[in-house]
Structure 1
């Protein structure tokens, strides 16, 4: 039966600096590299063998994917990169320090922007440092100026259905090394998590989440490979 491993990238430089990152292309810290390698070692210990891996076009996810596959002894795994697996776009919050933003706008407002399902942050002004419209990685695509988790799911889901789901239905074992919110979008879809419950689902960094699926891609089991850093998961029907 098909199996899927979701792996959130390790600590990035802007994670360390407590900044809203979104689509900004920052690299992993040394700690993030260690987390990714450890994730791969856990995958190896679990006896998993991937048919292919998917990642976003952002360095922190691609680097996590590379290090995890190396740690698992599977560096020869075919890798597919796609922008639709990018982190949620944080709009006008991009680059800001999270604590300073909370002081300016209030904890409640920032919590709404960060955690609500369908309320995005203010849009990013065009022409600024973090305007990605001219980035060649997104040529031919409408680049958002902000996203909620809902709109993140709306871009992830068509890619899931067109590219990833058919491979799983063919019985493949896949790795997706991506970001907290693009992975939460996949979890919401797979486990049919209600809108008001997904806000409580958090994906820890560098801890592989193994999801076993039936032929209809309904989860039959789900567990983190590092139980000491596990987060609560939606129930498996």
Structure 2
């Protein structure tokens, strides 16, 4: 039976500082490293044998993937990195403190930018500190200047269908260690979560979400490995 394990990266330094991170390549905190290791220990305790892992090209997700695989005693598992699994691009909000942004623009407006399905933040101006076109990881790529969850899904889905879904269709057990919004995009696709409901879906850091699939890649069972930190699960069917 195909099995998908989704693992959100552990706490990052900018999570700790309450800043909009998006595509900025910040590292894990010590707590984030512990969360990643705990995720791997849970995978090992559950007896889950992984065949392959996928992650983004952002350090916090890559290190979460590696730490989890090591803790699961499966560091030999092949890992594929791709920018299309990156976190949502926060546009002009990138780098800003969330509380200060709310004080400037109003809590209601910031909530719309953060939580609405299809309303993106203002675009990121080119040539500034966070102009990711200068990063060689994205050389030759058609990069966004801002994203909503809807456009994050548009970015993630072709990669899912081209690279990850075929491995699952072959009956493999796959780990995707990525970000809150890129993982929410996958959940929305798999469970057909309505637009109005996906804004309420959260995936906790470092807590593996295990989704068992049929051969048509329809979910048949879903659970968090750490039930004490589980969020509400998407409905099956």
TM-score, structure 2 as length reference: 0.99
Per the TM alignment, residue 135 of structure 1 is displaced from its structure 2 partner at its CA by: 1.1
Task: State the distance in 2 between where 1:108 and 1:232 align.
Answer: 24
Match of 2:149 in 1: 149
Matches within 5 A, 1:185-200: 185-200=185-200
Match of 2:34 in 1: 34
Task: State the distance in 2 between where 1:73 and 1:65 align.
Answer: 12
Task: State the distance in 2 between where 1:140 and 1:92 align.
Answer: 22
Match of 2:70 in 1: 70
Per the TM alignment, residue 105 of structure 1 is displaced from its structure 2 partner at its CA by: 0.5
- Over 6 Å off, 4+ runs: none
Question: Which runs of 5 or more structure 2 residues have no equivalent in the other structure?
Answer: none
What is the CA deviation profile of residues 162-215 of structure 1, one whole-angstrom value per residue up to 9, with x for unaligned ones? 010000000000000000000000000000001111000001000000000000
Match of 2:104 in 1: 104
Matches within 5 A, 1:60-139: 60-139=60-139
Match of 2:8 in 1: 8
> How many positions carry a matched residue from both structures?
237
What is the CA deviation profile of residues 22-72 of structure 1, one whole-angstrom value per residue up to 9, with x for unaligned ones? 000000000000000000000000000110000000000000000000010
Task: State the distance in 2 between where 1:229 and 1:68 align.
Answer: 17
TM-score, structure 1 as length reference: 0.99
Task: State the distance in 1 between where 2:90 and 2:203 align.
Answer: 18
SS at 2:132's partner residue? coil
Per the TM alignment, residue 134 of structure 1 is displaced from its structure 2 partner at its CA by: 1.8
Matches within 5 A, 1:51-62: 51-62=51-62
Match of 1:22 in 2: 22
Match of 2:215 in 1: 215
Task: State the distance in 2 between where 1:176 and 1:115 align.
Answer: 23
